[in-house]
Structure formats: structure tokens, C-alpha cells
């Protein structure tokens, strides 16, 4: 009986090893995980190159995105007609987001997988933001940085998510009018988007003209509106490019367009605007931040 059990275990182990070999060989023949699932990998690893590392281990692939605020890890593990995707987003003391998906690759295209991941992360960020805001009320801090938060208007900036109850790709223009009123300037940008500019409040909300729901996809904040990030950056007159580089890492150059008076530094879910004149006339570490964008 003992020999029969040992033989049975041996058969199962041998079959498992053989199946894994066939699976790994098939993936290699298709160029590896990064090539076979290029569309998904490119989407998940989109962002500043200095913050992203992709590790192809053969039988699985890790995408690691690290900023001063968030560490995100996606793990892709292929199977027979299947792909497992695991997500871990760590927000330090504010908590984490974890989930996993087992996609049937015969039923789900890579675009379908991307949509499923986007839908989940939107809701997860919403729940995290709610949790953080509730914690701020329940757990006031005497920390010197957090003690300065009142200077920034008690509004938490969450990159890729939002601020003051406004959520990217979720809140609509109608809801903005209900929250802040209708006393704003409407500015159209290249027949693509409309900016709701609340000059008195120091905030602008953008939606695409092609979107019938008028869903906000970019928020821009000035000092008058205030705000602070999880890592302690305060939106005030003292915030500089040197602070941004210290927290988020240095980028090679500013981004801009010919029609704009501003240049910006773009990171995952957040942008820091400076005047174009300053961007190209004085040393970067001396440049003051004009405003912050959340997208």
C-alpha cells in the first residue's frame, strides 16, 4: 500500500513537472510573457521609466512601480488557456489594495483584462480615499508635517484618484456644480476638453467634450484651493521643483506644448506645473510650483 501511494505521488509530481515544462516551453516559443501579453504589460507598466522595473522570471513576470507615495506590484503568471494577475498597492501607513484575477484567455482578450483591472482599482481607490478621510477625522495628529496640513486646506491629494471628495473618472460636471456652484469660467481646449475654472476657489476641473456624462478626468489645483500629499508635500508658495525631485525622483526635462504658458513634471497620477518662463530660464531646483494636476 505504501509503495502504491509513493508511486502515485511520483506519477502526479512527474506529470506536474512535465506540464510545467510544456507550458514554459510554449511561452518561450511565443517570445516570453512580456511579448505574449504585450498590450497588458505595456498598460500596467505605463509611467516614468525611472519608477518602473519589469522582471521576467520565465514562469511569471513582475511589474514593480515605486514612487515616494505608492509601491505597486503586478504579478502575471500564465497557465494553460489562463492568466493569473495579482495586484498589491502599498500606501504606507494608509493601508494597501490587494486583489487577484484568473482570466480564461479563450474568453478574455487583453483589452478585457485591462478593463476589469481598471474597474476594480477605481472602486478600490474610492474605498481607500473614504477610509483615509475618515481616519483623518478620528485620528488627529501632532506630527509637525501633518500639523501644517491646515495651511494646505485639510485636503488630501491622492495621485490618480482625486481630492476633496472629487474622484477622477467618476465625478461628473453636474456633481461639481452641486458641490462648488455654477460661478466658473468655461474654457474650451482644442475642441477636446472643457475646463471648469473656479478662479475664486483656485481649482479647475476638466471633462472631454465627447463624453456625454461629462466625467472629470483631470483636476488642477492652485495654492488658494490648497492640498497636501500622503508624503507631506504641501501646496503652498514654498513648494519647489527641488521638493518634487526629492520625493518623486528627478526627471530629465519638463513637458509642455507650444500653445501653453506652462511646463510640467509628470509622475504616476500627478503633475506639477511651473511657468514656462521659469522652466527654461533658471536652475530647476530654484523653480517654484505654480499648481498641481491630478489625472
Which DSSP string corresponds to the chain?
Answer: -HHHHHHHHHHHHHHHHHHHHHHHHHHHHTT-HHHHTHHHHHHHT-S-GGGEEEEE-SS-EEEEEE-SS-EEEEEEEEETTEEEEEEEEE-GGG-EEEEEEEEETTT--HHHHHHHHHHHHHHHHHHHHHHHHHHHHHS----HHHHTGGGGTT-EEBTTTEETTEETTT-BHHHHHHHH-S--EEEEETTTEEEEEETTTTEEEEEETT-TT-BEEEEEE-TTT--EETT--B-STT-BHHHHHHHH---SS-EE-TT-SEEEEEETTEEEEEEHHHHTTS-GGGPBP-EEEE-
Residue 205 lies in a domain: yes
Q: Are residues 61 and 185 in the same domain?
A: no
- In this prediction, residue 143 carries a pLDDT of 39
Q: Are residues 105 and 176 in the same domain?
A: no
pTM above 0.75, yes or no: no
Residue numbers of the chain with a pLDDT score lower than 70: 1-5, 7-31, 47-51, 67-69, 129-130, 132-154
Q: Are residues 157 and 88 in the same domain?
A: no
- In this prediction, residue 39 carries a pLDDT of 92
- In this prediction, residue 135 carries a pLDDT of 60
Residue 230 lies in a domain: yes
Q: Are residues 172 and 98 in the same domain?
A: no
Q: Are residues 289 and 202 in the same domain?
A: yes
Residue 141 lies in a domain: no
Residue 143 lies in a domain: no
Q: Are residues 110 and 154 in the same domain?
A: no
Q: Are residues 75 and 204 in the same domain?
A: no
- In this prediction, residue 98 carries a pLDDT of 92
For 236-250, the pLDDT digits (tens) are 888 999 989 888 888
Residue 90 lies in a domain: yes
Domain count, the chain: 2
- In this prediction, residue 49 carries a pLDDT of 58
Q: Are residues 231 and 104 in the same domain?
A: no
Residue 140 lies in a domain: no
Residue 136 lies in a domain: no
Q: Are residues 153 and 75 in the same domain?
A: no
- In this prediction, residue 141 carries a pLDDT of 42
Q: Are residues 113 and 164 in the same domain?
A: no
Residue 12 lies in a domain: no
Residue ranges making up the domain that contains 235:
149-294
Q: Are residues 118 and 241 in the same domain?
A: no
Q: Are residues 95 and 154 in the same domain?
A: no
Amino acid at each position: 500500500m505504501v509503495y502504491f501511494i509513493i508511486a502515485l505521488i511520483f506519477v502526479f509530481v512527474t506529470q506536474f513537472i512535465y506540464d510545467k515544462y510544456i507550458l514554459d516551453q510554449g511561452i518561450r516559443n511565443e517570445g516570453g510573457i512580456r511579448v505574449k501579453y504585450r498590450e497588458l504589460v505595456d498598460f500596467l507598466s505605463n509611467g516614468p521609466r525611472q519608477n518602473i522595473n519589469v522582471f521576467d522570471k520565465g514562469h511569471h513576470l513582475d511589474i514593480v512601480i515605486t514612487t515616494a507615495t505608492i509601491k505597486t506590484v503586478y504579478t502575471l503568471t500564465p497557465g494553460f488557456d489562463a492568466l493569473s494577475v495579482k495586484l498589491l498597492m502599498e500606501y504606507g501607513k494608509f493601508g494597501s489594495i490587494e486583489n487577484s484575477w484568473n482570466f480564461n484567455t479563450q474568453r478574455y482578450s487583453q483589452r478585457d483584462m485591462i478593463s476589469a483591472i481598471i474597474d476594480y482599482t477605481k472602486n478600490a481607490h474610492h474605498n481607500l480615499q473614504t477610509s483615509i478621510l475618515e481616519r483623518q477625522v478620528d485620528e488627529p495628529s501632532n506630527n509637525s508635517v501633518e500639523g501644517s496640513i491646515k495651511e494646505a486646506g485639510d485636503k488630501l491629494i491622492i495621485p490618480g484618484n482625486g481630492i476633496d471628495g472629487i474622484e477622477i473618472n467618476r465625478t461628473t460636471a453636474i456633481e461639481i456644480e452641486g458641490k462648488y456652484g455654477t460661478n466658473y469660467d468655461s474654457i474650451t481646449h482644442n475642441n477636446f476638453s472643457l475646463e471648469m475654472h473656479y478662479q475664486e476657489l483656485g481649482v479647475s476641473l476638466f471633462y472631454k467634450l465627447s463624453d456625454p456624462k461629462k466625467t472629470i478626468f483631470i483636476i488642477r489645483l492652485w495654492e488658494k484651493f490648497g492640498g497636501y500629499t500622503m508624503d507631506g508635500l504641501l501646496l503652498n508658495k514654498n513648494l519647489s521643483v527641488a521638493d518634487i525631485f526629492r520625493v518623486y525622483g528627478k526627471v530629465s526635462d519638463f513637458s509642455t506644448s507650444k500653445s501653453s504658458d506652462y511646463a510640467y513634471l509628470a509622475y504616476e497620477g500627478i503633475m506639477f506645473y511651473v511657468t514656462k518662463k521659469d522652466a527654461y530660464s533658471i536652475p530647476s531646483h530654484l523653480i517654484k510650483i505654480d499648481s498641481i494636476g491630478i489625472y
